[in-house]
Amino acid sequence: MSEQTGPEQSSPELTSPEQTSPEQTSPGDGGPKGIFSKDLLDACISCGFCLPACPTYAMTGQEQSSPRGRITLMRLLETGDLAPDDATLAEESSLCLGCRACETVCPAGVQYGHLLEEWRDEQWSGLKRPWIVRPLLLIANRKWVLRTLGLVRRSARRRSGAADQPTLMLGCFERGLFPSVSRGIAALDPDLAVDPDQGCCGALHAHNGELEQGRDLARKLGERLPGTIVTTSGGCAAHLADVIGRERVVEASEWLLKQNLDVSERPLRVGLQDSCHLRNGLGVWKEPRELLGRTATYVELPSAGSCCGAAGTYALVRKKESKAILAKKIAEIEAADLDLVIAVNPGCLRQLQTGLRKSQSRTKAVHIVDYLRGHKA
């Protein structure tokens, strides 16, 4: 019989707060490291309400890949009870999609998205950042690159709007990948001002371990574009709103609905993929549905509200998991027999297009702005 078992030896050794340091973890000094905002970390009561909402927990069924488990890891990192180079810390900070579905069900109002940003700020600094995202951050950080991208790929042209009219934010990757989106919204609302010399909002940086820079970029963008800012990307909208204030940020479908966009109806079956940050971060999910419902037969996909696996740079950093999540979406879309599936975010759009193309589906993925442009009455 090995010496540690049997009823007589198994009396509880750790039943009081004084004795709680788990010896399997490397002993730390137990003091706060200042990595996380104390209020944010303290808010979690470990109730586990977030478990069923989390896609990565659904994938593994493992505590450490649930929001609650990740917060436990963060706490242990904060107190030094887990070494900074612990393998699980590294794995979990990148396995998390950052989709913030956990926030919507948390009864204690834990701001998981912020915790994740602080975590990655620590975990992904310098050389520890996944190499694949490094050049992206650099590109987004250079105004001249963005300007050139906009020129080459012909995104919306400069124009000044009426004094109280909002300005269009030109997403940095959208400029390269889907320039028609900014042209589209400019066409849908001719009063929108466009400033081609704007920088990046820094969402990408904030989500990838450059929290301060991410915030700084957002602040600068806020200063450059006065008044209300209209965005065509959920991720950017949520980050920008977080830094410069929700009242200044309007997402495209919110805006168009407010403008009473006049649309025509067509005999199409369309579905929607929510942008996680738009839905979970800004609470915008009814608006795109409302617009689509006016233009065609709207079909709610069973998992429309949960992440498609694009998740910013996730599709690059965690290829395998991203594909697994996408595969389920594509199967769902196929089963729904849609003509179009609509995205409200460039990252999701690209993810869906890739998946649909690979499975040679008849369904096409389209950005909501491009779609509505074709339906303008």
Partner 1 sequence: MTKIPPAVIADLRALLGERVLTETGALAAYGRDATPLFRHAPDVVVQPLTTEEVAGVMRIATRHRVPVTTRGAGTNLCAATVPLSGGIVLSTTRMTALTEVSRDEMLAVCQPGVTAGALNRAAAAVGLVYVPDPGSKEASTVGGNVATCAGGLRGLKYGVTRQYVLGLEAVLPDGEVIRTGGRLVKDVAGYDLTRLLVGSEGTLAVITEITMALVPNPAAARYGVAYFESMADASEAVRDIVASGPAPATLEFMDAVCIAAVEDFAHLGLRLDAGALLLFGDDGEPDAVDRSVARMAEVCGKRATHIELAESVAAAEDLLAARRCNLPALARSGSMTILEDVTVPRPKLAEMVAFVAATADKHGVRIGTFGHAGDGNLHPTAVVDGDDQAATEAAMAAFDEIFHHAVDLGGTITGEHGVGAAKLPYLEHRLGPEQMALLRRIKGAFDPLGLLNPGKLGS
Ligand X SMILES: Cc1cc2nc3c(=O)[nH]c(=O)nc-3n(C[C@H](O)[C@H](O)[C@H](O)COP(=O)(O)OP(=O)(O)OC[C@H]3O[C@@H](n4cnc5c(N)ncnc54)[C@H](O)[C@@H]3O)c2cc1C
37 binds ligand SF4 (CB under 6 A): no
326 binds ligand SF4 (CB under 6 A): no
Task: Give the binding-site size for partner 1 (rule: CB under 8 A).
Answer: 55
- Tell me if 331 sits within 8 A of 355, measured CB to CB: no
For residue 343, what are the CA distances in angstroms to 22, 53, 368?
A: 46, 21, 6
- Measure the CA–CA gap between 286 and 369, rounded to whole angstroms: 16
Provide, rounded to whole angstroms, the least separation between the CB of residue 46 and ligand X.
8
- Measure the CA–CA gap between 57 and 59, rounded to whole angstroms: 5
Q: Hey, which residues between 42 and 101 contact partner 1 (CB under 8 A)?
A: 42-43, 45-52, 61-64, 69, 72-73, 76, 81-82, 86-89, 91-92
Rg (CA), the chain: 23
Structure tokens at 179: 């320039």
333 binds ligand SF4 (CB under 6 A): no
Write out 312-361 in H/E/C secondary structure. CCHHHHCHHHHHHHHHHHHHHHHHHCCCEEEECCHHHHHHHHHHHHHCCC
Provide, rounded to whole angstroms, the least separation between the CB of residue 107 and ligand X.
7
Q: Is 39 helix (H, G, I), strand (E, B) or coil?
A: helix
279 binds ligand SF4 (CB under 6 A): no
Bridge partners (DSSP) listed for residue 271:
341
CB neighbour list of residue 242: distance below 8 Å, 6 or more residues apart? 218, 281
For residue 213, what are the CA distances in angstroms to 144, 237, 348?
A: 18, 17, 24
Q: Which stretch binds ligand SF4 (CB under 6 A): 62-70, 191-199, 261-269, 353-361?
A: 62-70
Q: Which does residue 59 touch among ligand SF4, partner 1, ligand X, none (CB within 5 to 8 A, set by kind)?
A: none
Residue 73 is inside which H or E element, if any? helix 67-79
Q: Which does residue 40 touch among partner 1, ligand X, ligand SF4, none (CB within 5 to 8 A, set by kind)?
A: none
Provide, rounded to whole angstroms, the least separation between the CB of residue 29 and partner 1.
15
Binding mask 101-140 for partner 1 (x = CB under 8 A): ----xxxxx-------------------------------
Q: Hey, which residues between 165 and 184 contact ligand SF4 (CB under 6 A)?
A: none
Contacts with ligand X, residue ranges (CB under 6 A): 47-48
Chain residues that interact with partner 1, rule: CB under 8 A = 1-17, 20-26, 42-43, 45-52, 61-64, 69, 72-73, 76, 81-82, 86-89, 91-92, 105-109
Chain residues that interact with ligand SF4, rule: CB under 6 A = 44-50, 53-56, 67-68, 70-71, 96-102, 106, 108, 110, 112
